[in-house]
């Protein structure tokens, strides 16, 4: 069995011949929001539940504060949307899976994730945005990661090894956002359903702006 049943009841094929049919991989923003609001970041190793949906909203906020266009803000919101179907694997686990498979000449997780990310981004007509703003979007993702590490994990630089992904072992480590805290009572009290609705609301707001520019998402 290489397909999953989504929250809406759709069958999304992760592999196999059906996956490449016209509707073998149906993408639904309601599924994306629902799944991401439940999927935990850091493998759940945080002081409170911290979902991919909340992380994505933080990335969107960072993009907005940086003066990015609505197209880039949408890309920031949906940069991990494929994880609604592939799940969120922590970076060390991705590297471990890739290291096993590299013996056969391919980074298996990288290839698997990239294929699904491309399909989801194509659905939301974001491929060109990701291609043109790859480094900026990566910097946003890393700043959000640094912010979550500061506020929600027991990381202590005097006790723990540096995180290469955040350039801890360089003279210019990635700095967390200084205008937001993730460990506030308000955030801790928010339920996964509230994060799902916040995600959908932000998507709808940005989609209105994109629709005015003649862009949308393809139907399946």
Burial of 41: CB neighbours in 10 Å, binned 0-12, 13-18, 19+: buried
Residue-level pLDDT at 220: 57
Phi-psi category of residue 43: left, alpha or beta, with phi > 0 → left and psi -120 to 50 → alpha: left
Percentage with pLDDT > 70 across the chain:
95
Helix or strand or coil: residue 175? Answer: coil
pTM of the entire structure?
0.92
Q: In this structure, how many other beta carbons lie within 10 angstroms of the beta carbon of residue 19?
A: 16
Show the tokens assigned to 92: 């060390």
Average pLDDT score, the chain: 93
- In tens, the pLDDT along 18-33 reads 999 989 999 999 999 9
pLDDT value, residue 215: 64
pLDDT band at 154, cuts 50/70/90? very high
Say if CB 53 and CB 195 are below 8 A apart: yes
pLDDT at 214: 76
106: tokens are 């391919």
φ, ψ for residue 3, nearest 5 deg: -130, 160
């Amino acid at each position: 069995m290489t397909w999953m049943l989504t929250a809406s009841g759709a069958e999304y094929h992760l592999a196999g011949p059906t996956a490449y049919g016209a509707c073998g991989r149906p993408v639904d923003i309601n599924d994306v929001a629902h799944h991401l609001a439940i999927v935990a970041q850091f493998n759940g190793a945080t002081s409170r539940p911290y979902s991919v949906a909340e992380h994505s909203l933080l990335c969107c906020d960072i993009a907005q504060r940086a003066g990015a266009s609505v197209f880039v803000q949408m890309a920031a919101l949906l940069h991990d949307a494929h994880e609604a179907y592939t799940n969120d694997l922590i970076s060390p686990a991705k590297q471990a899976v890739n290291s096993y498979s590299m013996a056969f000449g391919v980074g298996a997780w990288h290839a698997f994730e990239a294929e699904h990310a491309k399909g989801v981004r194509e659905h939301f007509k974001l491929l060109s945005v990701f291609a043109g703003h790859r480094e900026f979007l990566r910097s946003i993702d890393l700043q959000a990661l640094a912010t979550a590490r500061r506020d929600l994990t027991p990381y202590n630089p005097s006790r723990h090894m540096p995180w290469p992904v955040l350039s801890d072992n360089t003279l210019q480590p990635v700095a967390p956002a200084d205008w937001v805290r993730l460990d506030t009572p308000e955030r801790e009290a928010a339920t996964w359903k509230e994060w799902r609705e916040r995600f959908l609301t932000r998507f709808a707001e940005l989609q209105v702006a994109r629709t005015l520019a003649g862009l949308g998402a393809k139907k399946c």
